[in-house]
Amino acid sequence: MPPTIVSPAACEVRAVIRFLSAKGVKPIDIHREICEVYGQNIMSDGMVRKWVRAFKDGRTNVHDEQRSGRPSVVNEDLVQKVDEKKFSSPKKKRMRKSSLSASEKVVICNIYKLVEEMWPKDQFMYSKDVAMKTAETAGVHISTVYKVMKEKKTTKCLSSPKTVSKRLTALNNLDELDLNGIRRKVHTSTLF
């Protein structure tokens, strides 16, 4: 038995179906033939029948046809607008805080992806350059960009920082007058 061909292009399998169909081979036999050569999971018998029917109805193209679907959000006008404003937006000063929320991290990831997509194709892209442009655009430090991208890569999700609740103590129930009295007593007492 000849070795199977691993991961062929879809158009290659369709070309074989078209060829065998033109020779008058029955769909079930075509399915058996392509399974011998390409493996059992290459195409179902029903799909072979669908393609045989399409070729008998006059289809000649074995390649995928253009389908309507979700249109690309990136178009030439958008690229031109971004090029005009390319990373020249004023830096936004962020209030310094210990960690970012999940939504802020998502924004940084989206900016990083956009910078990667917009990088000129004729220039070699270094991850440090992409991170620097992302940091400039987002108004954060480059180390923050690295931390967010590392979190995204390792955990596959971004999380908000956990809020630590303050532990309630007996001092929380005292008012300012009581606290001042305790302080005075502590400072005036002697250990000797």
Residue 19 lies inside a defined structural domain of this protein: yes
Q: Are 151 and 84 in the same domain?
A: yes
What's the mean pLDDT in 145-166? 77
Across the chain, mean pLDDT equals 78
Question: What does the alpha-carbon distance between residue 72 and residue 190 come to, in Å, rounded to a whole number?
Answer: 78
Cα dist. 137→76, 80, 86, 130, 173 in Å? 21, 18, 9, 11, 47
Least confident of 5-19, 30-44, 76-90: 76-90
Q: Are 91 and 45 in the same domain?
A: no
pTM value > 0.85: no
Question: What does the alpha-carbon distance between residue 44 and residue 183 come to, in Å, rounded to a whole number?
Answer: 83
What's the mean pLDDT in 115-140? 78
Domain count of the chain? 2
Give the pLDDT score at 148. Answer: 85
Q: Are 23 and 91 in the same domain?
A: no
Q: Are 46 and 89 in the same domain?
A: no
Which two three-digit tokens encode residue 170? 């007996």
What's the mean pLDDT in 152-179? 70
Q: Is residue 21 over pLDDT 90?
A: yes
Q: Is residue 162 over pLDDT 70?
A: no
Q: Are 52 and 87 in the same domain?
A: no
Residue 64 lies inside a defined structural domain of this protein: no
Is there a contact between 125 and 116 (Cβ–Cβ < 8 Å)?
yes
Provide the CATH number for the domain around residue 43: 1.10.10
Q: Are 115 and 151 in the same domain?
A: yes
Q: Is residue 31 over pLDDT 80?
A: yes
Q: Are 83 and 150 in the same domain?
A: yes
Q: Is residue 159 over pLDDT 70?
A: yes
Residue 99 lies inside a defined structural domain of this protein: yes
Residue 1 lies inside a defined structural domain of this protein: no
Residue 191 lies inside a defined structural domain of this protein: no
Q: Are 36 and 85 in the same domain?
A: no
Q: Are 81 and 136 in the same domain?
A: yes
Give the pLDDT score at 97. Answer: 53
Which two three-digit tokens encode residue 95? 């209030």
Name which residue leads in pLDDT, 70 or 6.
6
Residue 167 lies inside a defined structural domain of this protein: no
Residue 172 lies inside a defined structural domain of this protein: no
What's the mean pLDDT in 161-183? 68
Residue 142's domain comprises 76-155
Q: Are 52 and 80 in the same domain?
A: no
Q: Are 80 and 150 in the same domain?
A: yes
Q: Are 48 and 85 in the same domain?
A: no
